[in-house]
Structure formats: structure tokens, C-alpha cells
């Protein structure tokens, strides 16, 4: 059975027109702020209904991370700005975020040990 409907060949004008039509939804997703992540996991076991609620608030250097985060039933955490990975723990997740988004985390220089003298 061939494709039920093929797409109209695009033009520069059609692209601009559709983007204008759909731009409101793009803007709406840009407004998403998730200062906390609340996950709800449910399972049924031997007739018993299990509910696990998890609340995450993540900060790095005192600054909140506000991307959308979730926890799946196997306990792995995932973060929507990194869509192809899941992590065994929230700490592992955040360590990886620091690697993946270098533009968003100022590189920290190592601090001299307390009491160490600067060489003259």
C-alpha cells in the first residue's frame, strides 16, 4: 500500500508560512522552567499498589538547573536536554551535564591549599 499522503514540495514561502503558524508552540516550550522535578512512579505487585514520589532540586555552584528531569521505574534518572542517555544517579547526571554543556559552566581553576605561599 503506497503512502496515503505525500508532502507538498516545500518552497521558501511555504517554510516561512508554516513556521509563522507554529512559532507560538516553539515560544511556549522556551518558557518551560522546572525549578524542581517531581516524579511519580507506580507499580502493582501481588495485588498491592505501590506509589513512589520523588522530588529533585538541583543546583550547581548555587545556581538551579531548570531543565525537565524524570525518574523511570527502574530508578534511572533522565534529563530532557540530554535525550539519549539515562543515568544511575542524579549526581552522575549532573557530572555529565558539566561535561556536555561547557558553555554553561565556567571552568573552575584549582585552589591553592590553605596556608601555601606564592613563590616569589
Partner 1 sequence: MTVTRSNVLINSVARERYVRGVTLLKAEFTGPTTADLGIAGPSRPVSTYDLFVVWHHTAMSTMTPPTQDDRNAAHRGPVFCPWHRFMLYQLELNFQRVLDDDTFGLPYWDWAADGQQSAARQRRSALWNARTLGGSGNPVRTGPFRYNAGDPTSFRVRIDADVNGQLVQRDRGLRRSLGSQIATLPRKSDTAGTLGLTPYDTEPWSTSSAGFRNRLEGWAPPAAPALHNRVHVWVGGDMLPSSSPNDPVFYLNHCNVDRIWEAWLDRNGRRYLPLQSASVSLRGHRINDHMSSLISASMRPSDVLDMRSIYVYDSLAV
Cβ at position 45, least distance to partner 1 in Å: 15
- Does 93 contact partner 1 by CB under 8 A? no
In contact, 96 and 87? CB cutoff 8 Å: yes
Residue choice 50, 57, 72, 88 for contact with partner 1 (CB under 8 A):
72
Q: Return d(Cα 82, Cα 92) in angstroms, integer.
A: 13
Cβ distance to partner 1 smaller for residue 62 or 83 = 83
In contact, 47 and 60? CB cutoff 8 Å: no
Stretch that binds partner 1, among 44-52, 68-76, 112-120 (CB under 8 A): 68-76
Cβ distance to partner 1 smaller for residue 48 or 103 = 103
Which residues lie closer than 8 Å to 118 by C-beta, 6 or more apart?
A: 112
Cβ at position 30, least distance to partner 1 in Å: 4
Q: What is the sign of the dihedral through the CA atoms of 95, 97, 101 and 105?
A: negative
What is the chain's percent helix, strand, coil content, to nearest 5?
30, 30, 45
- Does 117 contact partner 1 by CB under 8 A? no
Which residues contact partner 1 (rule: CB under 8 A)? 1-16, 18-20, 22-23, 25-27, 29-33, 37, 39, 65-70, 72-74, 78, 80-86, 97, 100-101, 103-105
Amino acid at each position: 500500500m503506497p503512502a496515503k499522503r505525500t508532502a507538498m514540495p516545500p518552497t521558501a514561502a511555504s517554510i516561512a508560512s508554516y513556521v509563522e503558524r507554529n512559532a507560538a508552540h516553539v515560544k511556549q516550550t522556551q518558557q518551560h522552567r522546572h525549578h524542581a522535578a517531581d516524579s511519580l512512579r507506580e507499580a502493582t505487585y501481588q495485588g498491592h499498589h505501590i506509589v513512589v514520589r520523588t522530588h529533585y532540586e538541583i543546583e550547581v555552584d548555587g545556581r538551579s538547573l531548570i531543565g525537565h528531569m524524570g525518574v523511570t521505574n527502574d530508578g534511572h534518572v533522565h534529563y530532557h536536554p540530554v535525550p539519549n542517555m539515562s543515568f544511575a544517579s542524579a549526581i552522575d547526571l549532573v557530572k555529565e551535564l558539566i561535561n556536555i554543556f561547557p558553555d554553561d559552566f565556567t571552568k573552575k581553576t584549582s585552589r591553592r591549599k590553605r596556608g601555601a605561599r606564592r613563590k616569589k
